[in-house]
Structure 1
Amino acid sequence: MSTKMPPSLGPRIILHCDLDAFYPSCEIKRNPSLAGKPLIVGADPKGGHGRGVVMSCSYEARKFGVRSGMPISQAYKLCPQGIYVRPDFEFYAETSDRVMSLLRKFADRFEQTSIDEVYLDVGDRCASFDEAIKLARRVKTELKSAEGLTVSVGIAPNKSIAKMASDMNKPDGLTTVRPDDVKTFLEPLSVNKISGVGKKTTEFLQEHGVETIGQLSQIPAKKITDWFGKGGVWLWGIANGIEETPVEERPLRKSISVEQTFERDIQNKGVVKEALESLVLEVHERLLGERLLFRTVGIKVRFEGFQTFTREKTHTGYVDDQDVIREYVGSLFREFEKDRRRIRLVGARLSDLKPAEGRQTRLG
């Protein structure tokens, strides 16, 4: 496979912009007295007995070992002196809309991948990586001036490297990987720096003596596809610095789902219902954060032995009502209440989504 682009096109120039600790940063913007403090956005810790998770946290909180996705009770044990605030997803979504409108002005092609991350293809307006660096500095200055927020930017010839680069010097970083530096940049990085390579894939690769992206790039493409199927082609391309996925607008997401796996299989249905209530709150918060309406509510129940059941119920119209989610999740779970088997995992899912009034879909 050739690693060269057609000479008429030259190397692509992609920026990956990742807003730093976005939820806490929004809270600090609203209440500047929170700056410099260990701030944790998530569920109520209830003195260490709360259920639910950390949505995000400030860099000061991360020094205590607090991380996104961590149970809130664990976060409280690590950082009891932290300031805990409940998420305000509507406020974050409004801020994100303004930020994305600002960033869009700098792009030839634009791809928002989450509330706080975006790819900008700037290859048409920037003739060189030096020009792209100047553009990135303008992005950072304008964002700081307009919204009081910092962003870490990675500049590279493709999306996967730009994303890794943006993670290098957080917060407020600017990291550039020019085409000639791709191999040197990728070689020492751990395989789990590749977006989409999770714990299981990392462990599998380590068992086969592959710790770094450099080592992964030496594995023949056929062997990687034997290991991972079609996904192996994608992984091989990233490891060799030749991934060429275009920057393009994303369609509206089809569903929002959240799950909780219990540390031990649970027979006590009261504990399971508590977990479902936590999932109802979380899936509803995400719905509001993305300014969407739903029509269908689903649950997933996985028993010991990995037997999994899903159930769905559809509402008459489109709503964003938390009580409807709670009522439907409760009624769908009743089928399993008298089942004596232990439960390993429960999940809640909203589907048949459409934008709430006032939100632009931003398709193509």
Structure 2
Amino acid sequence: MPYDFPIRKIIHVDMDAFYASVEQLDDPELSRKPLAVGGGSKRGVVAAASYEARKYGVRSAMSGALAKKLCPELIFVKPRFDRYKEISQQIRSIFFEYTDLVEPLSLDEAYLDVTNNKVGNPSASLIAQEIRNRIFSELGLKASAGISINKFIAKVASDVNKPDGQKTVNPEEVIPFLENLDIRKFYGVGKVTADKMYQFGIFTGLDLKSKSLEFLEEHFGKSGMFYYQVVRGIHHSEVKSHRIPKSLGAERTFGENLSSEVFMKEKLEHIAVELSKRISKSKMAGKTITLKIKYSDFTLQTRSKTLPYFVSDRELILESALELLYQQPLDNSVRLLGISLSNLKGAGTKVEDEKAVSVQLKFEL
């Protein structure tokens, strides 16, 4: 079918069980065994699971205790993010041999625009296959890929033939592909949104397509326009090689629940220090400071404050975080605290008497 917008050749490459696969690669004794990267203690969290572990229902973000209950033979290993980053950079170096338009989403996935590529191959599908073959032959790791006319469809397609496979959705196949797609497979539709859509009789892309823009905006707010467009194969977002993250932050889960703001103040100071260690390496600042609080009953609360100017200084960020902490009484004892900076501006940001800086998200397990 004809489209009245540019048709691009986009590849979404997604490494298969990346963290767990790296651990199995480096330690052959872990090969083909149920493996979880993360902590197996009462407070531990699964950061990644091998496909052998996933057969038992073990998933990322699951508590280590539950994972062990589901799979008694589960092996836990501590995460080695420096190693994952090292491998990720090697993978990206392969990407850049084909195109300069590479947009990493995380250490283990990225978009590539190969509409005009360095190897002169008109077939995005063949390029994706070649990239996957090279990742396996050169690094010993497997990857899956999705190929289509825009980032949204490529992202969805990369999950179709996982692991170690790829799916191409050609221009003439886009609409049938989306119409037959389970609504839970739409990137950007989480469990809560899917449950809400079910209440309106929306179970597939075709069901979603039958709803008017007015209906979707009424019931799903600003996301309504997004859903209306993507189900029709419309997604104008370009692959951006220098992608500015939406937020940067750090958080920490505590061995024992905290019930006093006095102890929390000390923990927030440490978290702010963790952020400041990365400030000298970055060139962004933000206006919005958010305090994340997870209570002992696992309920999550966020409190945010937006300033009229960009900030990057550790003391200013900590001051705002403490102000948010004292803003209202706590609902319960606390098991996790985090500070994040959003509403960001990148290199070149002018901040009075300060350098424009940013921090990287820190994962605490």
Counterpart of 2:43 (choices 51, 68, 75) is: 51
Shift of 1:32: 1.9
- Alpha-carbon shift at residue 97 of structure 1 (Å): 1.2
Residue in 1 that maps onto 2:25: 29
- Other-structure match for 1:4: 3
**1:251 equivalenced with 2:243 (yes/no):** yes
Instruction: Give how far 1:17 is off.
Output: 0.4
Q: How many residues align?
A: 327
Aligned to 1:163: 155
Structure 1, 69-78 or 237-246: larger mean CA deviation: 237-246
Pairing 1:188–2:180 present: yes
- How far off is 1:194 after superposition? 1.6
Gaps of at least 5 residues in structure 2 are 306-310, 342-355, 361-365
Question: Which residue number corresponds to residue 17 of structure 1?
Answer: 13
Deviation per CA, 1:322-354, whole angstroms, max 9, x where unpaired?
A: xxx9xx79x959966x95743588540254854
* 1:224 counterpart = 2:220: no
Per the TM alignment, residue 192 of structure 1 is displaced from its structure 2 partner at its CA by 2.1
CA offsets 1:1-31 (integer angstroms, 9 cap, x no match): x96146xx6x321111001111011112211
Among residues 57, 65, 75, which one is paired with 1:73 in the alignment?
65
Of 72, 91, 102, 1:99 maps to 91
2:338 is aligned with 1:348: yes
User: Following the alignment from structure 2 to structure 1, what is the Cα–Cα distance between the partners of residues 178 and 59?
Assistant: 25
Structure 2 CA distance for aligned equivalents of residues 85 and 210 of structure 1: 41
Between the aligned partners of 1:231 and 1:183, the Cα distance in structure 2 is 20
The CA deviation string for residues 107-139 of structure 1, in whole angstroms up to 9 with x for no partner, is 252211111111111112499997222211210
Percent identity of the aligned residues? 34
Q: Which amino acid aligns with 1:144?
A: F
Contact 2:98–2:119 (CA<8 Å) still a contact in 1?
A: no
The Cα offsets for residues 220-246 of structure 1, whole Å up to 9 and x where unpaired, read as 122212222332111111111122221
Contact 2:312–2:357, Cα closer than 8 Å, also in 1: no
Q: Describe the shift of the 1:59–1:353 C-alpha distance in structure 2 as closer, same or farther (beyond 3 A).
A: farther
Task: State how 1:1-364 maps to structure 2 within 5 Å.
Answer: 4-5=3-4, 11-43=7-39, 45-46=40-41, 50-107=42-99, 109-125=101-117, 131-253=123-245, 255-257=247-249, 269=259, 299-301=291-293, 309=303, 314-315=313-314, 332=322, 341-342=331-332, 346-351=336-341, 354=358
Task: Go from structure 1 to structure 2 and tell me whether the alpha carbon gap of 1:146 and 1:235 turns closer, same or farther (over 3 Å shift).
Answer: same
- Inter-CA distance 245–134: structure 2 relative to 1 (3 Å threshold): same
**Do the aligned residues in 2 keep the contact of 1:294 with 1:354 (CA within 8 Å)?**
yes
Q: Distance in 1 between matches of 2:234 and 2:167?
A: 19
Query: What code does the residue aligned with 1:21 have?
Result: A
1:299 deviates by 3.5
| Larger mean Cα displacement after TM superposition, 234-243 or 158-167 | 234-243
Q: Deviations over 1:151-209 (max 9, x none)?
A: 10111111111111100111111111111111221222221212221122111111111
Kindly indicate which of the two structures has a greater share of residues assigned to helix: 1
- SS of aligned partner of 1:133: helix
Distance 2:76 2:252 in 1: 22
Take 1:94 and 1:253, find their aligned partners in 2: how far apart are those partners?
Answer: 20
Alpha-carbon RMSD: 4.4
* Amino acid across the alignment from 1:14: I
Q: Partners in 1 of 2:150 and 2:285 — Cα distance?
A: 38
Change over 3 Å in CA distance of 1:310–1:246 after alignment to 2:
closer
- Structure-2 change in CA distance of 1:130 and 1:252 (3 Å): closer
Q: Tell me, yes or no, if the aligned pair for 2:18 and 2:108 is still in contact at 8 Å.
A: yes
Paired with 1:51 and 1:153, the residues of 2 have a C-alpha distance of 34
User: What's the TM-score, normalizing by structure 1?
Assistant: 0.75
Query: Structure 2 CA distance, aligned partners of 1:220 and 1:197?
Result: 18
Letter in 1 for 2:292: K
**1:135 alignment partner AA:** I
User: 2:123 is paired with a residue of what secondary structure?
Assistant: helix
Q: Tell me, what secondary structure is at the counterpart of 1:171? A: coil
Q: Distance in 2 between matches of 1:42 and 1:267?
A: 20
Distance 1:340 1:152, change over 3 A: closer
Distance 1:36 1:221, change over 3 A: same
Distance 1:220 1:334 in 2: 40
Contact preservation (8 Å) 1:259, 1:345:
no
1:295–1:16 Cα change, 3 Å: closer
Give, in whole Å, the separation in 2 of the partners of 1:23 and 1:306. 26
1-structure distance, mates of 2:283, 2:118: 39
Paired position in structure 2 for 1:362: none
